Chains A and B, each alone.
Chain A
Amino acid sequence: MSRVSVVVIGGSAGSIPVVTELLQALPRHFQFSVIIVLHRLRNVISSLDTILGNKVQVITIREPNDKEEIREQYVYLAPQNYHLLIEADKTFSLDYSETVHHSRPSIDVTFESVAQVYASQAVAVLLSGANQDGADGLQAIINQGGMVIVQDPATAEYPAMPKAALERNREAVVLTPPEIAAFLRTLTQ
């Protein structure tokens, strides 16, 4: 497997405790970028970046601005009410087009974009959720040679999303949250 440049994490209902656990597992100097896409309410004031940030004080969590450069050792959170896309020059582009699976940000949209740009240097992780978002995006990651991890549905508060992803993608690795955390730590060694 080639060097991992980006870990992209998608989650919906029931995923925030797992995201927190994964971020807490990250070592202080991780040599990749983390991009998180969570389904969020639109048009309400949200301080999810602060909430996550308070739980994981050693790393900075940013909601990126449009055309911002993607840097190593940063954790990026998709801003509410935008799709988050990646340009070939590894900058972010925001997009305010139609919802996908009733979601904006949509996990599929970001996963597909990450697959295009990072190909085999991407690891995608799909967590708990109640809809079908992420299944197509994981397939794009697999097609481009990236690695795909799905949270074990038995450990998910809402198993529908991981189940849908596993039906689509037999190649996906099924792991419990502590196993995903352990895997992320191996990426830095």
Chain B
Amino acid sequence: MVVGKNMTVQNSISAEELEEIIILIQRQYGYDFGDYARASLHRRVIRCMQKAGCLTAYELKYQLTNDHRFFAWFIESLTVNVTEMFRDPSFYKELRQNVLPKLASYPAIKIWHAGCSTGEEVFSMAILLHEMGLLSRTRLYATDLNPANLDRARQGIVPLQYMKDYTANYIQSGGTNDFSAYYTARYENAIIHKEYRKNIVFAVHNLATDHVFNEFQLVCCRNVLIYFNRNLQNRAINLFSNSLTPLGYLALGMKESLLFTDVRHQFEVVNPAVRIYRSKR
């Protein structure tokens, strides 16, 4: 650790120490971060150390080993839980105009949001489905590895301070209703009305270790794979490929691609700008 004249003591760990921490978490608790991209994981670990007041990797390892409550907090803070409603309005516009009309031909629609965090994207999807008259025959499966995220998502709570931005996103995505009709403001929170959430099933699922659990016409996994290395990205995309019905859709984040996966030839690109793919099988 370098401490210069203008510097405060910084919480820092080396690349080797990061590997030791990953192994400790795996051995002791079974969470496998071995195939997470190191650059962001490193940042997250240091951020957790700052919040917890751990100065060295030794201190962090000691706490992780001896304090189970600390470990639970650490895992919840380690994964990125940032999300937005109607993030990338052009993506939702494409769903509205071209993808959901195709799904309308199915008597029952099943959609999987993998890595749903606190639910903002699945709520956005439910609102779209409602506006297209499809919500009542759709079941939305929203999964995350972090149980604390799911607890929050089940309550349908979105911080009120962001609703202004989300309303702008919604309008840009082609929404024409009064967005505030979808939620009730209570103190500093907006609560999405129950009728838009009742077809959502929230469940724990870890893309690094869990398997196919159902079949879907649309899988949304946006800005989750960016935290994985190419190996784990490949595993996850294979999992999605095996979870899709014939001609099912896969939606990724705006800068995520199938390029580095071995199933890329099994998909055709529906809209390259918003990264929507369709299974050829």
Which residues from chain A sit less than 8 Å from chain B, CB to CB? 43-45, 63-67, 79, 81-83, 85-88, 93-98, 109, 113, 116, 139, 143, 168-170
Q: Which of B82, B165, B233 contacts A43 (CB 8 A)?
A: B165
Q: Which of A65, A87, A109, A139 contacts B256 (CB 8 A)?
A: A65
Q: Is the CB of A66 within 8 A of B257?
A: yes
Does B7 make an interface contact (CB < 8 A)?
yes
Q: Is the CB of B43 within 8 A of A65?
A: no
Does B154 make an interface contact (CB < 8 A)?
no
Chain B: minimal CB distance from A164 (Å): 12
Q: Is the CB of A43 within 8 A of B87?
A: yes
Does B88 make an interface contact (CB < 8 A)?
yes
Q: Is the CB of B80 within 8 A of A168?
A: no
Q: A96 to chain B: which residues have CB within 8 Å?
A: 80, 82, 223, 226, 253
Q: Is the CB of A109 within 8 A of B43?
A: yes
Which residues from chain B sit less than 8 Å from chain A, CB to CB? 2, 4, 6-7, 15, 37-40, 42-44, 80, 82, 84, 86-90, 165, 168-169, 172, 223, 225-227, 229-230, 233, 253-257, 259-260
Q: Is the CB of A81 within 8 A of B87?
A: yes
Q: B256 to chain A: which residues have CB within 8 Å?
A: 65-66, 94
Q: Is the CB of B169 within 8 A of A43?
A: yes
Q: A66-B225, A66-B226 are in contact. Are A87 and B39 (CB under 8 A)?
A: yes
Q: A97-B43, A98-B82 are in contact. Are A43 and B254 (CB under 8 A)?
A: no
Q: B227 to chain A: which residues have CB within 8 Å?
A: 95
Q: B259 to chain A: which residues have CB within 8 Å?
A: 65
Docked Cα-Cα span, A116 to B42, in Å, equals 11
Closest B residue to A117 by CB, please name it.
Answer: B39
Q: Is the CB of A97 within 8 A of B44?
A: yes
Q: A65 to chain B: which residues have CB within 8 Å?
A: 255-257, 259
Among B4, B40, B169, max chain A CB count under 10 A is at B40
Among A66, A82, A87, max chain B CB count under 10 A is at A66
Closest B residue to A85 by CB, please name it.
Answer: B39
Q: Which of A45, A63, A87, A168 contacts B255 (CB 8 A)?
A: A63
Additional pairs, 9, CB under 8 Å, beyond known A81-B254, A94-B223: A43-B88, A64-B255, A87-B38, A93-B39, A96-B226, A97-B80, A116-B39, A139-B6, A143-B4
Q: Is the CB of B80 within 8 A of A79?
A: no
The 3 A-B pairs with the shortest beta carbon distances in the complex, nearest first, are: A85-B39, A94-B226, A95-B40
Q: Which of B37, B169, B223 contacts A87 (CB 8 A)?
A: B37
Q: Is the CB of B80 within 8 A of A95?
A: yes
Q: A116 to chain B: which residues have CB within 8 Å?
A: 39, 42
Closest B residue to A79 by CB, please name it.
Answer: B255
Chain A: minimal CB distance from B92 (Å): 11
Q: Is the CB of B168 within 8 A of A43?
A: yes
What would 22 A/B residue contacts be, using CB atoms closer than 8 Å? A43-B89, A63-B255, A65-B255, A65-B256, A66-B253, A66-B256, A67-B229, A81-B88, A82-B255, A83-B40, A85-B39, A87-B37, A93-B37, A93-B39, A93-B40, A95-B39, A95-B226, A96-B253, A97-B43, A109-B43, A143-B2, A168-B6
